[in-house]
Chains A and B, each alone.
Chain A
């Protein structure tokens, strides 16, 4: 018995298609309320009734590093969204930021396509 629904793309392609439309969307299970990131076909508790929702877009810096090279430095951060899930991203406007800093998501056009990046929130607790 096949489990594929040919009318819908898989979670990765769906996420990327939303991004190309300028939308940051994550998954939530209807039955358990669990949020999931990165996008996949089931939750850690086994729920498969995942729907796409727009997150608040705010979160906290969970961990951060700055990759340094002769061509420049860029930070790589793990952001804990207020929905409770974690994602890799970057804060393009600053060299680095303290762990615990409050951040807000925006979509940035990059050479390889749209990506979700974060900016420090004014007055955000660090």
Chain B
């Protein structure tokens, strides 16, 4: 028994994205601001109602200070925990704790990046690891290439199976008008893509886009009185063992094997109950790792699981229905876009890509080099 006391006690009542794809002429904070304004409006609240701020970006050393100043807020509670792309799944948990404790009444979770149009001007805040620098790793791809090499070695995972992940992502993106990379794509094209860090090619890498996202949470009792259909926070779990890929205990198994069960236990649901799985696909190997580690399939069977369109539209499991980081959007930290798609699906607003009777979504965030793993379970009123 852990954390069930906060199950269903908060809800996402407003959600928005901005600048998905390319947003030339806008700064990261301007995009974040647009998403925040739209999310607050979506909730039917006023910006001055926001008294809790949760933020992380790749370009602000003190993200909550910058957000508060930019939006003219005076929050009672704020948290800028930065665990890379998984920050926002963790922020849902932190925001729920703060709301439930009465430390704030309306929490804004937000992110923004102009990584694509800023081009070479973007300087990473991620510091090199001194014991790695003599070997010139090109993180993050070097780290993910190492993990993929190990997964192939232990389980016989193939490049064809990695290509199946990218192919499925594109299939979903082709149903999503907001996705940045749309259009036909063949397995041959994927397999002949330029090798960057063996066994990963350019086609195994996520997009580099601009984009911002924001959501607003309130306590569940208040959510019922607001304009948008509430999407309830049912469970959250986190696990983290390392910073540098060198210190990852087992390169073929991530800490999602702990964060997932923690989140599911809090939510009181099983993995088979999940209608939509939003898995942080910075690289194709991620999807396979997380399908296994979260329990959608047995360890080592992720490669076979993604074959034959099983995670593509019309397949057995709806995975990354927005098109994922591989074909929809990836501005550097992708975690809040997982939540945005889960909210869209649970609200029933996903158009052509809508999953039937979508009541439970799992969002799995990944940060660093397969380092921080944070899982959140979201559900409709029917799932409460």
A residues with a Cβ closer than 8 A to B are 12, 37-39, 62-68, 74, 76, 78, 86-90, 96, 99-100, 110, 112-113, 115
Contact = CB atoms under 8 A, between A and B. Distances in A.
A67 B138 contact: yes
B246 A76 contact: no
Interface in B164-217: 194-200
Contact of B146 (A63, A68, A115): A63
A63 B138 contact: no
A76 B147 contact: no
A65 B135 contact: no
B153 to A, nearest CB: 4
B285 to A, nearest CB: 11
Contacts of A68: 194-198
A6 to B, nearest CB: 22
Contact of B135 (A86, A88, A99): A88
A87 B145 CA distance: 16
Nearest to A64: B149
B134 A38 contact: no
Contact of A78 (B133, B197, B251): B251
Contacts of A76: 135-137, 142, 146
B347 interface: no
Contacts of B145: 65, 67
B95 interface: no
Given A63-B146, A68-B198, A76-B142, 8 more contacts: A38-B244, A65-B146, A67-B142, A67-B196, A78-B251, A88-B137, A88-B246, A99-B150
Contacts of B135: 76, 88-90, 115
A78 B149 CA distance: 11
Interface of B: 129-138, 141-142, 145-150, 153, 194-200, 244-247, 251
Given A63-B146, A67-B138, A67-B197, A78 B246 contact: yes
Contact of A38 (B131, B149, B251): B131
Contacts of A62: 150, 251
Q: A65, A66, A76, A89: which has the most chain B beta carbons within 10 Å?
A: A65
* Central interface residue in A37, A68, A110, by most chain B CB within 10 Å: A68
A67 B136 contact: yes
Contacts of B134: 110, 112-113, 115
Contacts of A66: 195, 197-198
Given A62-B251, A68-B198, A99-B149, A74 B246 contact: no
Given A38-B246, A78-B251, A63 B149 contact: yes
Nearest to B194: A68
A37 B244 CA distance: 12
Given A76-B137, A78-B246, A63 B147 contact: yes
A68 B298 CA distance: 33
A99 B148 CA distance: 12
A109 to B, nearest CB: 11
A112 B133 CA distance: 10
B183 to A, nearest CB: 26
B149 A65 contact: yes
Contacts of A100: 153
Nearest to A12: B130
Contacts of B200: 65
A110 B247 CA distance: 24
Contacts of B194: 68
B149 A87 contact: no
Contacts of B142: 65, 67, 76
B362 to A, nearest CB: 28
A60 to B, nearest CB: 12
Given A38-B246, A63-B251, A87-B246, A74 B136 contact: yes
Most buried by A among B130, B149, B196: B149
A30 B188 CA distance: 56
A107 B47 CA distance: 60
B366 to A, nearest CB: 18
Nearest to B146: A63
Contacts of B244: 38, 88
Max chain A Cβ within 10 angstroms of own Cβ: one of B135, B141, B153, B244 = B135
A20 to B, nearest CB: 12
A86 B251 CA distance: 12
B247 to A, nearest CB: 8
A117 B73 CA distance: 53
Contacts of B198: 64-66, 68, 96
Give the residue among A63, A78, A87, A99 with the most B Cβ atoms within 10 A: A63
30 contacts: A38-B244, A38-B246, A62-B150, A62-B251, A63-B146, A63-B147, A64-B146, A64-B149, A64-B198, A65-B145, A65-B148, A67-B142, A67-B196, A67-B197, A68-B195, A68-B197, A68-B198, A74-B136, A76-B136, A78-B246, A88-B132, A88-B135, A88-B137, A89-B135, A96-B198, A99-B149, A100-B153, A112-B134, A115-B134, A115-B135
